[in-house]
Amino acid sequence: MHLKEGCSLLLKVRKPPISFVLNTNPFFDLKQESESNLTVVKEYDVLKRLKHERDITVALEYFKSVANSKAFKHTPLTYQKMIEKLGQESEMDGVQYLLQQMKLEGISCSEDLFISVINSYRRAGVAEQALKTFYRMQDFGCRSTVKIYNHLLDALLNENKFQMINPLYNNMKKDGMEPNLFTYNILLKALCKNNRVDGAHRLLMEVSNKGCSPDAVSYTTIISALCKLGKVKEARELSMGFTPIVPVYNALINGVCREFEIKEAFHLVDEMVSKGISPNVITYTTIINALCEMGDVDLSLVVLAQMFVRGCSPNIHTFSSLIKGFFWKGRVYEALDVWSRMVGEGCEPNIVAYNTLIHGLCSNGNLDIAVSVSNQMGGNGCSPNVTTYSTLIDGFAKAGNLEGASDTWNKMITHGCHPNVVTYTCMVDVLCRNSMFNQAQLLIENMALENCPPNTVTFNTFIKGLCGNGRVDWAIEVFDEMGKYGCLPNVTTYNELLDGLFRHSNFTEGFGLVTEMEKRGIELNLVTYNTIINGLCCAGMVEEALQHLGKMLVKGIKPDAITYNTIIYAYCKQGKARTAIQLMGGGMTAGEWRPDLITYTSLIYGLCEWSHLEAAMVFLLKMLNGGLSPNVVTWNVLVRCLFSKMGYLVPVPLLDSILDNG
């Protein structure tokens, strides 16, 4: 791998702790003492200085200097302001130190100060520490209140600490505190986030029975949860029991859009308008995003026009959905035009928008433009992140461009951006595509050393590269070593190995892997069966392949075009065109698939090989009547057959190779 000399992975270094020690020495400097006696500092001035000081170190130095003088004695408010500033920087050691200092000075914590401490722990992502501090609250001269309990419950909910929420709620009731609507809304969110929507619904009824009327947040929480679980009908029925608001409608629209029921989404928008409720940018963006995912980007433009007519301006998410939709359809020019319009509308691109643009450009082979966009990001106040670099490396990997991928890697390291498992996996991919398997293995080993262990996708990428290069024995060794890195093989891992084994007619080991899959409880999927069927057909074992087709059907796995085309072509190669035609008819009758270009070309080839030119012409007409245009392979088969009938000698095309590559 062409890494620049001196470039290595940069690990984030923990910033040095700030010194929090306040001077408790009674012998002050005489000069400092005389100066401090001259001016008495007021609480208002200290608060103002702390509030406007952006540098936390400078703020703390000022706080200490005031504390170590005789000009001012800190008050509950100045302590609270300093604790809030430390909490915003997640300097929790400093927060704890100041709490202890308050305790020593006999200053009690107020409700607001303690809530500030809880919120600081929440911001730092350590809600359990907030809980521990809460149980020591009396040491700081503060009594628990409903408001404090609510903030603590919310902090636990933020980190999905569901097992701690219920005991704390029970403790709250034991303390004789009556939960309020804010408490109940937190519990509703906790139940919904834990997929216990039925329990949330019961709690909602309980709240109503207690005379505490649920609000818009209560209903929106449950309706959103129901829609995410696909229970849109139940959500719709629940919404009938109160006057819906915009967030509720947005949740319902999001639910129907998840099921791609666009007509129902439009119906809900019309219902909103008829009730005098104005759809907002979230409403329209949800529908636009669903339409773009369905590939109907033109209709999404109609929705965009409707937004403008109703005085609703699109935001960055609206434009990003449109850009993604155009790229998905391969309409690069129009995607770039939307980008230009977005910038022209004064909508500043964020990192998500830039990554959407770069991903779309890479997916459509416009790597040079993608690199140019990434180079401009920093100048526009939005530096590339690990997703940006991973997307570029993946684009270069798919193009087989090792130099481009390596340059991007080097740029990422130089800018202090640490690669994640996705970035590493993309580099493994590009190395495999360039047959640099030793380097790929070294990179995987390096991942563990850099505290970024490989995952199953990483190993699947490596195994696929090895199998595609005929290095199946090496791939099996890698497969056996996955457990050493704490990775379990999935169905994709087995499919890649099966493909490599069956390509080399190693059926014994291949079917041994199938048995192992079944023992491990890994379900064989469509790709697994297609891989097995293709391997058997390539070996001329068509009847065995047909048996696996039967197994698929019994398991409820629907065969696709690849399944049928593989078996049909194998029958045609054996001169069993009639059987192939029967199989095609059976698949069509069952409504499982429709014959495509490959199907008809295989049948025409099979009939021509056995001098059934008239029958071949019948299928050519069926093909044309079905709206399919013959390609060069189809015409080569027919021309060869015609010349053969007329007695001319012509070179025999490598039909097997042509048809195999489709």
Classify residue 526 as exposed, middle or buried by CB count within 10 Å of its CB (0-12, 13-18, 19+): middle
Compute the distance between CA of residue 34 and CA of residue 37 in angstroms, rounded to an integer: 5
Tell whether the model's pLDDT for residue 575 goes beyond 80: yes
317, 337, 514 from 295: Cα distances, Å: 17, 18, 37
- Please state the rounded mean pLDDT for residues 209-228: 84
Tell whether the model's pLDDT for residue 417 goes beyond 80: yes
pLDDT digits (tens, 9 = 90+) for 281-297: 999 999 999 999 998 99
Compute the distance between CA of residue 195 and CA of residue 200 in angstroms, rounded to an integer: 9
Classify residue 249 as exposed, middle or buried by CB count within 10 Å of its CB (0-12, 13-18, 19+): buried
pLDDT of residue 38: 45
Tokens 């103002």 belong to residue: 48
pLDDT digits (tens, 9 = 90+) for 114-159: 888 888 888 888 888 888 888 888 877 888 888 888 898 888 888 8
Q: What percent of the chain has pLDDT over 70?
A: 91
From 521, 523, 533, select the one nearest 560 (Cα to Cα): 533
Tell whether the model's pLDDT for residue 199 goes beyond 50: yes
Quickly state the pLDDT bin for 3 (edges 50, 70, 90): very low
- The answer for residues whose C-beta is within 8 angstroms of residue 373's C-beta and 6 or more apart is 354, 357, 358, 361
- Please state the rounded mean pLDDT for residues 594-605: 88
Compute the distance between CA of residue 250 and CA of residue 200 in angstroms, rounded to an integer: 20
Q: Which two tokens stand for residue 207?
A: 């709240």
- Nearest-Å Rg of the Cα atoms of the chain is 34
- The answer for residues whose C-beta is within 8 angstroms of residue 459's C-beta and 6 or more apart is 444, 478, 479, 482, 485, 487, 489, 493
Tell whether the model's pLDDT for residue 245 goes beyond 90: no
pLDDT of residue 11: 26
Query: Which one-letter DSSP state was computed for residue 647?
Result: T
Q: What percent of the chain has pLDDT over 90?
A: 34
From 453, 451, 429, select the one nearest 440 (Cα to Cα): 429
Longest dimension (CA), the chain: 121
Q: Which contiguous run of DSSP H or E holds residue 162?
A: helix 162-174
Contact 494, 464 (CB under 8 A): no
Q: Residue 73's CB: how many other CB atoms inside 10 A?
A: 13
- Please state the rounded mean pLDDT for residues 189-198: 86
Contact 570, 602 (CB under 8 A): no
Classify residue 163 as exposed, middle or buried by CB count within 10 Å of its CB (0-12, 13-18, 19+): exposed
Helix/strand/coil (H/E/C) assignment for every residue in 519-540: HCCCCCCHHHHHHHHHHHHHCC
Q: Which two tokens stand for residue 93?
A: 């050691």
Contact 339, 373 (CB under 8 A): no
Compute the distance between CA of residue 158 and CA of residue 174 in angstroms, rounded to an integer: 24
Q: Which residue has the higher pLDDT, 207 or 153?
A: 153
Compute the distance between CA of residue 212 and CA of residue 24 in angstroms, rounded to an integer: 52
Tell whether the model's pLDDT for residue 249 goes beyond 80: yes
Compute the distance between CA of residue 495 and CA of residue 516 in angstroms, rounded to an integer: 12
Query: Residue 619: how many CA atoms within 13 Å on its side-chain side?
Result: 28
Q: Residue 589's CB: how many other CB atoms inside 10 A?
A: 8
Q: Which two tokens stand for residue 581?
A: 């035609």
Q: What pTM does this model have?
A: 0.72
pLDDT of residue 35: 47
pLDDT of residue 335: 94
AA letter at 522: I
Q: Residue 549's CB: how many other CB atoms inside 10 A?
A: 20
pLDDT of residue 649: 42
pLDDT of residue 566: 92
- The answer for residues whose C-beta is within 8 angstroms of residue 501's C-beta and 6 or more apart is 472, 507, 509, 510, 513, 535
What average pLDDT does the structure give for the chain? Answer: 84
Domains recognised in the chain with CATH numbers: 179-279 (1.25.40.10)
Q: Which two tokens stand for residue 138?
A: 């009396």
Strands (E), 501-639: none
Tell whether the model's pLDDT for residue 652 goes beyond 60: no
What end-to-end distance do the CA atoms of the chain give, in Å? Answer: 34
pLDDT digits (tens, 9 = 90+) for 438-489: 999 999 999 988 889 999 999 999 999 999 999 999 999 999 999 888 899 9
Output phi, psi for 269, to 5 deg.
-65, -45
pLDDT of residue 648: 46
pLDDT of residue 478: 94
Compute the distance between CA of residue 247 and CA of residue 283 in angstroms, rounded to an integer: 9
pLDDT digits (tens, 9 = 90+) for 151-182: 988 888 888 888 888 888 888 888 888 888 88
Contact 498, 531 (CB under 8 A): yes
Contact 139, 103 (CB under 8 A): yes
Tell whether the model's pLDDT for residue 309 goes beyond 60: yes
The count of residues in the chain is: 662
Classify residue 462 as exposed, middle or buried by CB count within 10 Å of its CB (0-12, 13-18, 19+): buried
Compute the distance between CA of residue 92 and CA of residue 500 in angstroms, rounded to an integer: 54
Contact 601, 634 (CB under 8 A): yes
- The answer for residues whose C-beta is within 8 angstroms of residue 411's C-beta and 6 or more apart is 389
Q: Residue 562's CB: how many other CB atoms inside 10 A?
A: 18
- Please state the rounded mean pLDDT for residues 106-112: 84
